[in-house]
Structures are given as C-alpha cells and as structure tokens.
Structure 1
Amino acid sequence: MLNKIISGGQTGADQAGLDVAIKRGIPHGGWIPKGRMTEAGPLPEKYDLQEMPVKSYPKRTEQNILDSDGTLIVSHGKLTGGSKLTVELAQRHCKPSLHLDIKANSMAYATRMVASWLADNGIRVLNVAGPRASKDPEIYGATVKLLESVLGRGAK
C-alpha cells in the first residue's frame, strides 16, 4: 500500500508521478533543486516539494532515493543522463529500483511488474523518475497511464 509518492519535480515522468498522487489523494513530496527549477522554469507551488540548499540535480536525485523505499524509473528505451544516474545511485545505496521500458512491454505486463515489485519490496514511499519532457514528450502520459493502472489494481 502506497503512503506517499515523491519525485524531483522535473517535467515528464517526475511530474506525472506527482499529478497521479494529487489526483488520487495520495500524499506527495520530494526534493527539488534550489529555486524550484525545472526545464520549464520554477515548479508550480501546487507541488509540495522541499528545496535543496543547492541547485544540483544529482544531489536532489540522491536525496529522493534516500527518502523513499524504492524508485520506479519509467522510460521509452534505454536509460541515459539523469535516469541512468538514478539507477546507479539506487544501487550504490542498496535501495530497490525498477526500470520499466514502456516501449518494450505491454501495459498489462508493466502493470503486473510494478504491482509485484511494490508488494515484494514493501514500498510505501515511492520515488517516480524518468526522462524529462524535452527528452521524451510522451513520457508524461505513459507514466500517468502506468501509475493509474497500477493503483487501479489496489496498490493504493
């Protein structure tokens, strides 16, 4: 049962996770770089994220990994940049992570995989990560669809 969804607030997968939490009435949060900066400018105040004391995206990523029980990384294809770093940091801190390539899996399979991973790892605070919107314009919608499907299976 998820108690909270967190992310770094970036456009794309991060904001999809936060928006699903808000829509579903699940508490949300996470850490964002100083200035609440995203690639589209400052993160709107409707998102209840804490500012880091520095402007570093990697530091924000690491803090969200540490503050969660596990990290779900959603992508269309192989991981690059910050998403790849997310997996590396989760491994370094011995935190569960699951990379779901939406392009390589059906939604039904992806839903089962995430639901099983959440249950098997006792995930209560979920960190949602993945590419920003400028790198993958379709990741927001895919992440929303996946999370809604998982929560519809009783993961809430």
Structure 2
Amino acid sequence: MSKPKFTIRSDGQFGADIGALDAAMEFNETNKSFILEITGWCPKGRRAEGAKIDKKYPLKETTTNNYNQAIEQNIKDSDGTLILLLEGNDADKETTHAIEKAKEFNKPSRTIILSNDSQENINQTLNWLKDTNIEHLNVKGPRESNTSGIGEKTHSFILDLLKELSTNPDFFKK
C-alpha cells in the first residue's frame, strides 16, 4: 500500500501564503511517514511585497512579475483553493482575485474565517477536502500588511490541519 500523498501550493506573498508554506516545510521536517509536496508559482524575480521570496521556498517563477499571473496559475494547477481570513477582516485585492478566478476556472474554493475555535476550522476544512477529493491544495489569503497576524494564524492552522491529515490514513482512499 502506498503512503498518502498531499500537495500544498501557494504564491509566497508575505502573509497567509508564506504562513502556509512555512507550516508545510515545518511539517515535513518532523513527519516522514506522510508524503507532503510543497510547490507553487510566484511572480518573476520572486517578487513579493517589499522584498524577494527566499530561495528556500520551492516555487517556480512565472514569465512576468504580475502577482495575478502567479495567483491564476496556482489555481489552475491545484484541485482547489482554500481562502483563509481572520475574523473581522475582509479579503484584500489579491485574495478577492483568487476567489473570482477559482469560480471562473470552475475550481472548488472554500473560505475559512480563522477563529479561536481552530478545531472547528479544521473540521470544516477536512470535510470540504474530502467532499471535493482535493489532494493538491492551493492556499491563499491576505498580505500581512493588510491583515496583521494572518501569517502566524495561517501557519498554526495549516500545521494543525496537516497533523490531522497525517493521522487519518483512510482520508485519501478513493
């Protein structure tokens, strides 16, 4: 029997996106029994708000430095997109673009408002992943500059989600 397999992808923008990638990388360091791939598209030049995306993140560069190209390519290359927001904060321009493009590309998307009840957020996400057969997940959310604390909250949530996935070997049986 093969091991479960799951992919996390993101565009590496500082905030929710980098929080998801950091969580996936941390998970991989401590868990060898679950295969987790990490990937994504980022703008040419590894462009992110105010800086370049570190080379430690296994991202491919798009042909332009336009954020929307990376956002759209990640949606196309995934099974579905998970949008993460904080209570009391709206989606920023790029997150709204991702929501609209997922709909346009007829790709499943789910918005989770990260609350203090992280287990409820995890259960909502697990049910959605299972119902839509998602094994290749794109994670998108606001920039840190637009939603303070979103990176840390996303990191914690994605790490807990991956731990839960890794303890459920039947999750990916078709």
- TM interval, shorter chain, is over 0.9
The equivalent of 1:109 in structure 2 is: 120
Shift of 1:40: 3.3
The equivalent of 2:96 in structure 1 is: 84
Q: Within 2, Cα distance between the matches of 1:100 and 1:43?
A: 25
**How many residues are matched?**
155
Question: Deviations 1:10-55 (Å, cap 9, x if unpaired)?
Answer: 0011111111111122221110111101113111110010110111
Residue identity matched to 1:125: H
Q: Choose from 11, 19, 23 the match for 2:22.
A: 19
Instruction: Please say which of residues 146-155 and 123-132 is displaced more in the overlay.
Output: 146-155
The equivalent of 1:53 in structure 2 is: 63
1:68 correspondence with 2:78:
yes
Secondary structure, aligned partner of 1:35:
helix
Q: Within 2, Cα distance between the matches of 1:151 and 1:48?
A: 18
C-alpha RMSD of matched pairs (Å) = 1.5
Secondary structure, aligned partner of 2:44:
coil
Shift of 1:2: 5.0
1:9 correspondence with 2:20:
no
Structure showing greater Rg: 2
Q: Within 1, Cα distance between the matches of 2:6 and 2:123?
A: 19
Task: Tell me if the contact between 2:12 and 2:53 (Cα under 8 Å) persists in the aligned partners.
Answer: yes
Q: Choose from 28, 32, 50 the match for 1:40.
A: 50
Secondary structure, aligned partner of 1:137:
coil
Residue identity matched to 2:99: V
Gaps of 5+ in 1: none
Residue identity matched to 2:106: C
Secondary structure, aligned partner of 1:5:
strand
Deviant stretches of 4+, over 4 Å = none
The equivalent of 1:31 in structure 2 is: 41
Q: Within 1, Cα distance between the matches of 2:158 and 2:58?
A: 19
Question: Deviations 1:52-109 (Å, cap 9, x if unpaired)?
Answer: 0111111110000000011111012332311111100000001011111124x72121
Secondary structure, aligned partner of 2:143:
coil
Shift of 1:149: 2.1
Task: Tell me if the contact between 1:87 and 1:97 (Cα under 8 Å) persists in the aligned partners.
Answer: yes
Residue identity matched to 1:27: E
TM-score normalized by structure 1? 0.93
